[in-house]
Amino acid sequence: MFGYSIKEITSVAIEDLVLNYNITMDKFIAQSILIGILPLASIIGAIITRVLIKKFKRLSGIYVFTIFNVGAIVLVNITTFYTLLIGRFIEGICVGFYSAIAPIYLKEIAPKELRKMLGLFFSFGKILGVLISIFIQLIVV
């Protein structure tokens, strides 16, 4: 999710946004804001993770944080540039939380001999997400 989310706003997508939503700011500034808001929100999500883990424990924290996946609903129903920013911000908080909690939870439930490999797969998934979004961009352009 994180790898794909970082790379998904491409030059093709920003051209469509400028045409469809009448963005008045410079397209490079708009693209920078769209790309930068997700990692910024991810930092916030990772910080919130510590508080949630202490209060709800790991598995319960995952269930509680699923509520914040409303960002995906916002992204599906975007009507303005600012709606897109709000959706990406909420998505970034979720990405930060799940990036912090998922490796911990996977290592807890995995058999001892598979723990290192599962940690590797989590990092590999981020790289694979970036790679998939690059291939999608190559096909579209």
Q: What is the pLDDT of residues 15-42, one digit of tens each?
A: 677 677 777 777 778 878 888 888 899 8
Rounded to two decimals, what is the model's pTM?
Answer: 0.76
How many residues are recorded in the chain?
Answer: 141
Q: What is the pLDDT of residue 97?
A: 85
Q: Which helix (H) or strand (E) holds 6?
A: helix 2-7
Q: pLDDT in tens for each of the 141 residues of the chain?
A: 555 555 566 555 666 776 777 777 777 788 788 888 888 998 998 898 888 788 777 777 777 777 777 767 777 777 788 888 888 888 888 888 888 888 888 888 888 888 878 778 877 887 887 788 778 777 776
* Token pair 């991810």 in the structure block, residue: 42
Q: Give the pLDDT of residue 11.
A: 54
Q: Which domain holds residue 26?
A: 2-140
Secondary structure, 3-state, 41-54: HHHHHHHHHHHHHH
Total number of domains constituting the chain: 1
CATH code at position 46: 1.20.1250.20
